[in-house]
Amino acid sequence: MTRAGSILWAKSRIALNQIASVRHESKLKVGVVSVSAVMLWFGAYFLFWSAFRWLKMYEMDAVRPGFGIGELIMSRMLSVFALALFFMLLFSNTLIAYSTLYKARENAYLVQAPIPWWEYFLARLVECVVFSSWASAYLGSPMMLAYGFVEKAPWPFYVAAVAFYLPYIAMPAAIGSIIAMALVRVFPRLPRGSMVGVGLIAVVCMFMYLRGTVSVEQLGDPNFQTIRETLNRTQSWILPSHWAAHGVLAASAGDYTASWFDFFLLLSNALMSITVAALFANAVFYPGWSDLLGNDMNRKTPPGRGWVGRVDVALRWLREPHRALVTKDIKLFWRDTTQWSQFVIFFGIMAVYVASLRDRASIDTSSWWRPLVICLNIGACTLILATLTSRFVFPLISLEGRRFWVVGLAPLTFRQLILQKFWLSVSTTSAFTVSLVLLSCSMLRVEPIFFALSLYCIVITNFALSGLAVGLGSLFPNFQEDNPARIVSGMGGTLNFLLSMVYITIVIGAQSTVMIGHSKGLFATPQNFQTALMAVVAGTAILSALTTYLPLRLGLRNLERSEY
């Protein structure tokens, strides 16, 4: 066994033991998570299958009736999906590599082991790939299967999809690791405010670029030319996404020579990326780790200095012990680079979304597409909210860590602790998501009644998803783990994500039914529309109240009955 292999063997044994420990969990909990995961997968498959079937019904023109515009979109959608996946994996691997290579507790022991840095890096790279790519495999597999069944693809299509996926996810992992190691080598010597400034400048530059290039107006009157020009931007031969998509489609069409060429092109570039990353790690990993460790140990900020030091003064209007807890959470968030760096990425996502709405509503107000666009807008906002609560709010209780017993000995009840986390979540997420809804609805020129409905939806969703995340975080705490990404990847984090998606689907579905029904004239009288609208408002309010209260109650009961 090689030295890197011994690290991977130990990690695999730990993973197997964690999986085996599931048998000690409540059968109800395991059953709920398992059934929810299966239902979500089949639900995603059904949605993709329905969308592909809908696209195949549209023909391009009467001159070429054998070729539909749906065929074009479906074939190019693989490249679009692969390109989006590449950039998402690049971001996630940069953050996960930072946590895995520099912040994991076992690193203090592993760096003293008789192992070259490049070999140590390769062992940790495998862990980064697993943590960053399992979700894409879980959510991407129903899309690939749906595409294959709708197109009636032969079996080589499915084999190629799996074969191309493995080297494809290795490339962003290696590149993301290089970025993480380079940043650690440079930024430990710079003030933390400089890092935030660089992130904000990058977000502003991306916003300005997209503001000048992305146009909703072109999609307001879609035709073959505009769709082809838009999709061709993802077809460059220099993109790994193009190699993967083209190779899979070539295997489906029986062109195995082209498929093998694309596969070996992708595989060789993936191996080259890993080799370059390993050589880079051999040169810069240990100096960066030493600088980062020295910075962490020598950073002593006097009380009251800096904006973080003045948080306690700014929050003096809060009553104790809530002020102390809020101050602690803010300081821990600021000191964890992986936390606030991901928050900057969310700012970038919001900037991209707002930039794409710059042309406002070019769709005819009498068209039923307009309420659909409004519903998709509020759906996108709630999905961003669900991501925020799942990634940042759910781990709050677990991040108290092995020192949770200190909280238990403090003059503080578990009820006060949970409510503090809940209101902190509501106040912070509402500041971003409510502002996003106000801005996006203003740019879309949404009618007052639907504007109010969208605002109402995001407000109640903030309460519901915050209660769900805090409650399940208290019901499934993991005080042995200090990496938020790993906490979220556990059973409780998975269940929180699945239930958040179910809640959003119900709320957005009810809202869409009323809005689209109103635009298509399905309500005979205005009174019928008002009745249906009030029913949706009341129903979502009851659902949100239950989604808020029940998880908080179950989480509180779990903390009170357990000994931590």
Domain spans in the chain, listed from the N-terminal domain onward: 50-192+237-295, 366-564
pLDDT tens sequence across 453-481: 889 999 999 999 999 999 988 888 877 77
What is the C-alpha separation between 407 and 481, in angstroms, rounded?
Answer: 17
Q: How many CA atoms lie within 13 A of 46 on its CB side?
A: 6
Rounded Cα–Cα distance for residues 421 and 253 (Å): 54
**pLDDT tens-digit profile of 489-504?**
677 787 888 888 889 9
Q: Phi then psi for 227, rounded to 5 degrees?
A: -65, -40
pLDDT for 272: 93
C-alpha to C-alpha distance for 505 and 329, rounded to whole angstroms: 31
The residues of the chain scoring below 70 in pLDDT are 1, 25-26, 28-29, 57-76, 187-236, 294-317, 322, 334-369, 401-403, 405, 407-409, 482-483, 485-486, 489, 563-564
Q: Give the model's pLDDT for residue 8.
A: 79
**The tokens of 317 are what?**
């209007």
| Whole-number CA gyration radius for the chain | 25
Token pair recorded at residue 563: 């000994």
pTM comes to 0.64
The answer, yes or no, to whether the previous bond of 222 is cis (omega within 30 of 0) is no
Distance CA(488)–CA(131), nearest Å, equals 11
pLDDT score recorded for residue 214: 46
pLDDT of 64: 47
- Residue 327 and residue 315 in contact, taking contact as beta carbons nearer than 8 Å: yes
pLDDT at 463: 94
Q: Which helix (H) or strand (E) holds 114?
A: none
User: What confidence score (pLDDT) does residue 219 get?
Assistant: 44
**Whole-angstrom Cα distance, residue 364 to residue 170?**
45
Q: d(Cα 87, Cα 75) in Å, to the nearest integer?
A: 20
- Respond yes or no on whether the N-terminal peptide bond of residue 321 is cis (omega within 30° of 0): yes
**Distance between CA atoms of 368 and 371, rounded to whole angstroms?**
6
